[in-house]
Structure 1
Amino acid sequence: MRAVLQCVSEARVEVDGATVGAIGPGFLILLGVGHGDDEETARKLWGKIEKLRVFDDESGKTNLNLAAIGGSVLVVSQFTLYANCKKGNRPSFTDAAAPAEAQRLYEYFVSLARMSVPRVETGRFGAMMEVSLVNHGPFTICLDTDNL
């Protein structure tokens, strides 16, 4: 699995002009599922994300995790995180999981987040979405479970 994590002051996702998910301070997580990912992969990734100390403490140091700030999470499916641009100029997405498996693991990841975060919002899997955010920091981290 791959995730692009953005610390946000606020974020929202719209489908066909309607807001389907919105949060205040917390994480916007763009989540991609690859071949070979499973529930253990999702648990490993969520475990890392929920423990990351990337939010400012009272001294302005990045020392607090999501729970410490009472943050929310917005998870948006993003198969394009598995784009392979090695050959030519048109990305290949063959490393991304098949849609049915990707959706199953995306929903499992969201369920893990909901077990420990009071407010978890989502985009709509497979839809054309417009994502808006105010990046706090700005602070953006790329995670790949192959490297955890």
Structure 2
Amino acid sequence: MKSMTKSAKGTVETPGKNVRAKAGLNRGILDNTPGERRRQLEYKTRLYGSVLIAVPPFRTSNTCGNPACGNADPESRLGCGRLFRCVHCGHEDDADHNASIEIEARARRTGGTVTNSTRSVPQTRVPATGRGRMREAPGPAHAS
């Protein structure tokens, strides 16, 4: 992130080009970091009583989206083209669509668990009356 948001001002000898445009781009990049997106998603899911399931992205672009196959092979994505072609079963799809199928399948396999980088805990909060307020769901107490 640091190298992407370097200043374009330059020096006295070699002044920068499009400094104002670069400054605006830098603001946009820094306002939309992955951590900020994650924080906003967590906030919105709590607000609307939904569930956010974080799925590790490792190998989703190399795993076949065909439910009968599920083979993970980097050879299925040779080159940087848009096509995914499974070397095991021959399944073809747009690479992004295929990865989204695998991400959804992984989310379903977690069994409705809210996952973050440090722990996995069952979703135990439901929306109360009014927007933005939360109350504990009925059921066994959850020890933290």
* TM-score strictly above 0.5: no
User: TM-score category by the smaller chain?
Assistant: under 0.3
TM-score computed with the length of structure 2 as normaliser: 0.26
Larger radius of gyration: 2
More strand by share: 1
Whose relative contact order is higher, 1 or 2, with alpha carbons under 8 Å and at least 6 apart? 1
